[in-house]
Amino acid sequence: ELRTAVLHGYARAWNTVGQVIFDDDEESSPVLFLGLALSRDGACNGLLAETEAAELPFLDRREKYYLRIDVTPWIELDRDGPIANAAIYTYVARPECFYDPVRDTLRWEGLGVAQGYRQLIEDGLAERPTEFADAFRRQTWPIPAGIETISRPYRFPDPEQNRATGRDRPAEDGGPARD
């Protein structure tokens, strides 16, 4: 069961650069993914999923461009009170993957946002109550100026990351279409 929560002290931003291979290319290309940025007065909603400690290395592989951090003190739960004896983690951009639109405009040639990734987010929001989805959109900083949307299917260069995200399975077998 997923629980909604609010993370205080952070804002949701398009600030994480990862590498993908678009289906018609052989070389990887940089794309922007959502991440979190420290923000004194910031707050953003999200979902909590109970996870066993043994599953954390799998999630770390999946979130290859991010570092796992403990945010337990900054979480406000929506209902049912606190979670006893549990740490709450989220992922933030690794320093080498952090995108600053002022500093990094020329650093990554051809940087874009994959349309399939944006659609994955929208599909997830469609499964949540309207007020959650509306708050998510309000609390997400816009895509930086000059960043184009790329409408081609993609996969990750790392086979382990593809397995962790389900990208190694065809859509008809329950894996995502390579978006």
What ranges do the domains of the chain cover? 2-158
Strand bridging mode 112-114 / 89-93? unpaired
pLDDT digits (tens, 9 = 90+) for 93-136: 999 999 988 777 667 778 899 999 999 999 999 999 999 999 99
pLDDT score, position 48: 94
Q: Highest mean pLDDT: which of 82-86, 105-109, 169-173?
A: 82-86
Look up residue 150 and give its amino acid. I
Please identify which residue in the block is written with the tokens 């469609």: 126
d(CA 166, CA 129): 26
The count of C-alpha atoms lying within 13 angstroms of the C-alpha of 51, restricted to the half-sphere facing its C-beta, is: 15
Q: Label residues 140-169 b or e (16+ Cβ within 10 Å = b).
A: bbebbeebeebebbbbbeeeebbbbbebbe
| Mean pLDDT calculated for residue range 76-104 | 86
CATH (residue range 2-158) = 3.10.490
Check pLDDT > 90 for residue 68: yes
DSSP alpha helices (H): ranges in 4-114?
Answer: 56-62
| Mean pLDDT calculated for residue range 66-93 | 89
